[in-house]
Homo-oligomer: A and B are copies of this chain.
Amino acid sequence: MTARPGLVTVESVALRTQLGCDLCAANGFDLCQAMSLLAPETVIRVVPARRVIYREHELYDEVPFICDGWAACAIRLSNGSRQILSILLPGDMVSAALLFDARADYLVEAITDVHYRTFKRADVKASLFKHPDLFEKFSKAFIEEKIRADQLVVDLGRRTAEERIARLILNLEDRLSRRGMANQTTKEIDFPLRQHHIADATGLTPVHVSKVLSEFRRSGLVKISDRSLAILEPARFRRIALARR
């Protein structure tokens, strides 16, 4: 998910055709790979950080998948505040809900430079019936999405700021590891999130996120620098996140 400047053109959206998923940062993660086998030739769109990929209240007949980079799927309120529903990593489908509901009120925004591709809603649905194994993969992805949403509800409803932030970080670390995107030895991960992303994902304010993270650093739990993160004391950190399982 490091920037690949060569592909980011002056255009807000650059188009690029290629076979397969040579660039896939997620090492052929599950669902996206399975879909790619059925539709190997697609355009891959490239957008710079902070740009909107998917705007609420607009109609799309496509579902985006993240090939490279980080993005955020959020809901925006009329007063400007936002709640991030999920941080999207390479290999992630934006949301299974988009497959069946063309008018979901999601706002998807690139966090880093993002490469993404799309599959046509109708194509995906047709494939589901023809390929039971794809159906299985798809169901699993959807269930996982739902379970994570439910966990987020518990986090926001019943956990403190410290717990929420620690859990977010551990969650990301876990998801990156499963993609082979965490440094196996140093346990260091790319961490392009701004503090306001963390705030929007945890239902807090950027100011308070700053204070909690400072406290984490001061007590030697984590190291955050230069858009990368390392958990220095995994055991103690996990204890914060899982204090109340």
The interface of chain A, by Cβ under 8 A from chain B, is 75, 77-79, 81-83, 85, 95-97, 100-101, 104, 129, 132, 139-140, 142-143, 145-147, 149-154, 156-158, 202-203, 244-245
With beta carbons under 8 angstroms apart, the residue of B78, B83, B96, B146 that contacts A245 is B78
B97 touches A158 (CB 8 A): no
A83 touches which of B96, B132, B147, B154 (Cβ 8 Å): B154
Residues of B within 8 A of A85 (CB): 150, 153
Distance of A156 Cα from B150 Cα, bound (Å):
12
User: 13 A–B contact pairs at CB < 8 A?
Assistant: A75-B150, A75-B151, A75-B153, A77-B154, A77-B158, A78-B245, A79-B244, A81-B158, A100-B139, A101-B147, A104-B147, A149-B150, A158-B203
**New A-B pairs, 14, CB < 8 Å, besides A83-B153, A100-B142, A101-B143:** A75-B153, A77-B154, A77-B158, A77-B245, A83-B157, A83-B158, A96-B143, A97-B146, A100-B139, A100-B140, A104-B147, A129-B132, A149-B149, A156-B203
Partner of A244, one of B77, B147, B245: B77
Q: Is the CB of B96 within 8 A of A146?
A: yes
Number of copies: 2
Instruction: Classify the interface of chain A: helix, strand, loop or mixed.
Output: helix
Q: A79-B244, A158-B77, A244-B79 are in contact. Are A146 and B149 (CB under 8 A)?
A: yes
CA distance A96 to B147 in the complex (A): 11
| A104 surroundings in chain B (CB, below 8 A) | 147
Question: Which chain B residue lies CB-closest to A81?
Answer: B158
